[in-house]
Structure 1
Amino acid sequence: MFGGLTGLQDPKGTDWGERMLNTVASQTIRHLFTQSESVEVFVRCYPSSKLLQGSIDSFKMSGRGLVIKRDFAVEEMSFETDAVAIDFGSVLSGKLTLKQSTQAIAQVILSEAGINHAFKAELVTKRLLNLTLPSLTALSGGKPVSFPEVQVQLLPENRLRILAKSDLNNGELIPLSIIVTIAVERRRRVAFKDPQIELDDVPADQKEISQTLSMALVEILDNMVDLDRFDLDGVKMRLNRLETEGQRLIFSGYAEIERIPSSN
């Protein structure tokens, strides 16, 4: 077994140990996601004898069509580490276990459709329905306020248009339309800044209430998109920048990998 790990190569020059690591790592990473269209892992370890001590040179993962926690679709995700220490015994048993935490350069790409699907997830809707907001108590007569319909359109220059409806529990839905600029804050939070309330298509008798509700929704969203709530177990994402590009939202940053869980 050890001889194969340290000396055997296929005709393309890929060491058998690297190929085994790639297979084990691909299976392990794939299980992090509820669904995955494709997950590819490339592990580099040269010379392969270092594998016996649990040392590898780099670890690179790229995936497409991923779903996290059943409701959060990721169009593409990739990360790449420098040298990593792993438990060699875990590899032989078909698992991948880190000896110590590591960091990886990471990129995550979300689609506009995926973002809108996420607004239907229970983790998100529970923060938008039946809210008791002090700032809106007089407006709603003390009744809970809900935002049952929220849709996002990605715009150039890191802007979003938010189209929503608010329910004051009086049988009337109030239309909302807001343009905001999004930015990274404290490397883990997406901030919603500089709201511009659009009232042109709002009925005249609803304009004032629509403006008030729009500001309330922006405040809710500004406090909601914290990556710590969407982390994979053992993997924390940290952001350096974000960018809107057509119908895609691109996050660049790094991942703090404490451990690789067995499933998601």
Structure 2
Amino acid sequence: MFGGLTGFTNEKGTDWGEQMLNTVASQTIRHLFSKSELVEVVVRCYPSSKLLQGSIDSFKMNGRGLVIRKDFAVEEMSFETDAVSIDFASVLSGKLRLKQPTQAIAQVILSQEGINHAFTAELVKKRLINLSVPELTELSGGKPVSFTEVNVELLPENRLRILAKADLSSGELIPLRMVVTVGIEKRRRVSFQNPQVELDAVPAEQKEISQTLSLVLAEILDNMVDLDRFDLDGVKMRLNRLQTEGKKLIFSGYAEIERIPKTG
């Protein structure tokens, strides 16, 4: 049986062992996402007999149209490891287990549409509604304040324009509009820096409160996007760089993979 898996080569030069591993890995990774348009996995191992010891030369994944936890859309995701040690017996049972932790270079591309959809997720909305902090309590007469209708526009040079409304629990909605620069802190947190509030379209009687509330919202967002809150079980993401490119936000970094998670 093992001889057939690691010794028979098809017309494209890929032996049955690699084919089986590619299939199992694709199925395993696809199950990490709520939805996926495409998940491709390519495993390389030469000579193929190394598979019996669980040694492979590289492991590469490309995904498109992915959804994490039902609400967080990823337009594209890719990662590639160096040599990896796996439990080959687990592959024969249709699973994929690592013998030891590994690292992979990674790239994640988010679309402007996907980012805006994320602001409708309960995980995000609950951090923006019914807030009671000193700056807001004074402005709202002690009532909770909620930030709603958050919309992001990607701009060149790592900038975002953020539009939103602040509900002061009195029926009055305050329009908010500002431009921020996004960056990376400690390789795990996306920061919202240097907020520039835009007040031209805000009614005169609301300009002062809009200025204050915009800066409060910028501070809230600056403390919201921490990758440790979104890590898959057994996988820790770290960022080296981000950039805006047209209507896309591109992250590059690496993943520390302790084990293959069971679900996303």
Instruction: Tell me the TM-score normalized by structure 2.
Output: 0.99
1:136 to partner: Cα distance: 1.9
1:7 to partner: Cα distance: 1.0
1:180 counterpart residue number: 180
1:135 to partner: Cα distance: 1.7
Identity over aligned residues, as a percent?
80
Tell me, in whole angstroms, the C-alpha distance in 2 between the residues paired with 1:183 and 1:125: 22
1:106 counterpart residue number: 106
1:12 to partner: Cα distance: 1.5
1:44 counterpart residue number: 44
What aligned pairs does 1:89-238 form with structure 2 within 5 A after superposition? 89-238=89-238
1:57 matched to 2:65? The reply is no
Cα distance per residue 1:58-78 (max 9 Å; x no partner): 000000000000100000000
1:5 to partner: Cα distance: 2.0
1:229 to partner: Cα distance: 1.2
1:257 counterpart residue number: 257
Tell me, in whole angstroms, the C-alpha distance in 2 between the residues paired with 1:40 and 1:105: 16
SS at match of 1:37: strand
- Identify unmatched segments of 5+ residues in structure 2: none
1:237 to partner: Cα distance: 1.0
1:16 matched to 2:10? The reply is no
Cα distance per residue 1:144-179 (max 9 Å; x no partner): 110021000000000000000000101000000010
1:263 to partner: Cα distance: 2.3
1:137 to partner: Cα distance: 1.6
1:138 to partner: Cα distance: 1.1
Tell me, in whole angstroms, the C-alpha distance in 2 between the residues paired with 1:263 and 1:237: 16
1:6 to partner: Cα distance: 2.3
- Aligned-pair Cα RMSD in Å: 0.7
Letter in 2 for 1:118: A
Tell me, in whole angstroms, the C-alpha distance in 2 between the residues paired with 1:93 and 1:217: 50
Tell me, in whole angstroms, the C-alpha distance in 2 between the residues paired with 1:6 and 1:159: 51
SS at match of 1:36: strand
Tell me, in whole angstroms, the C-alpha distance in 2 between the residues paired with 1:165 and 1:181: 20
2:240 counterpart residue number: 240
- Identify unmatched segments of 5+ residues in structure 1: none
Letter in 2 for 1:75: E
Contact (CA 8 Å) 2:136, 2:144: kept in 1 or not? no
SS at match of 1:202: coil
SS at match of 2:105: strand
Tell me, in whole angstroms, the C-alpha distance in 2 between the residues paired with 1:86 and 1:124: 36
1:262 to partner: Cα distance: 2.3
SS at match of 2:35: coil
Letter in 2 for 1:217: L
Instruction: Tell me the TM-score normalized by structure 1.
Output: 0.99
SS at match of 1:233: coil
Tell me, in whole angstroms, the C-alpha distance in 2 between the residues paired with 1:88 and 1:16: 13
Letter in 2 for 1:80: E
SS at match of 2:36: coil
1:6 counterpart residue number: 6
Contact (CA 8 Å) 2:237, 2:254: kept in 1 or not? yes
SS at match of 1:26: helix
Tell me, in whole angstroms, the C-alpha distance in 2 between the residues paired with 1:10 and 1:96: 23
2:69 counterpart residue number: 69
Tell me, in whole angstroms, the C-alpha distance in 2 between the residues paired with 1:54 and 1:250: 33
1:235 to partner: Cα distance: 1.3
Cα distance per residue 1:225-247 (max 9 Å; x no partner): 11111122221111000000000
Tell me, in whole angstroms, the C-alpha distance in 2 between the residues paired with 1:217 and 1:192: 10
